[in-house]
Amino acid sequence: MNIERQLEGLTGPLPDGITEGVALGTGIADGYDFYDSPVGQVVVTFNPNGVSSLGLASEDFAGYFTQRHGRSLIRAEAPSAWSGHVASAIEAGTPGRLPVDLRSVTDFQARILRITTTIPKGEVRPYGWLAREAARPGAARAVGSTMARNPIPLIIPCHRVVRSDGTIGAYSLGGPHVKWELLTHEGADPVHLEDLAEHQVRVQGNRSTHIFCNPTCRAIRRSKPENVVSFKSGRAAEAAGFRACELCRP
């Protein structure tokens, strides 16, 4: 059964007197439509609160949506006020002006997901970074669980979050190979990231400026190769006389 027929099967009978337009406008049902992405066609669902989920069109998205959200789906165009922002948000890997509906996650998870949207395209951050940004430095494991429950991958860019040891890690949208494809598309070079992780490199500093960064920070990537020095931790960098970058806050 193709994805269109799967999703059509979720429309189901609406309550008496409720039209599809009313169901969509009141949030009784979510609308859905198909969009192109760097990793193939995806299904995007939405309601008056914003985009509620995103999945690969090749997967069992219908079953996932039913289990997680419990609402019917109706094929429709996104609300005109922000429909033009969906495609650009997918390509940019951040919501921008696109509203998102995070009611399917906890308040803590919503906070972490919103911080995730601040990671620049082509860069990555470890779980621990997100935990510190949320003022919960001991919550790296909970951050990992949050990434796994991200209802709107691509738009909320959990593919830019790596494990605390620097390795690429898992990915809910189709698996690790899709994460590698996205990072490659954005210029983050996952092969290089895995090599850094293998050598226990967590941060890199510039001998000229004496500033240390996350390895994908645009500041360190602009540095001359001969000026770059690697460290196993931020503390090691500070002990060597380096200070943290104000852009990437390692």
Residue from 244, 240, 241, 187 nearest 214 by CA: 244
Active site residue 158: yes
Which tokens sit at 62? 């219908």
Residue 126: count of CB within 10 angstroms of its CB? 23
Report the alpha-carbon distance of residue 245 to residue 213 in Å, rounded: 5
Strand boundaries in the chain, DSSP class E: 29-35, 42-47, 50-56, 72-75, 125-126, 161-162, 203-206, 211-213, 228-231, 243-244
Q: Which DSSP letter does residue 13 get?
A: P
Q: Which one is catalytic: 158, 213, 217, 245?
A: 158
Name the residues annotated as catalytic: 158
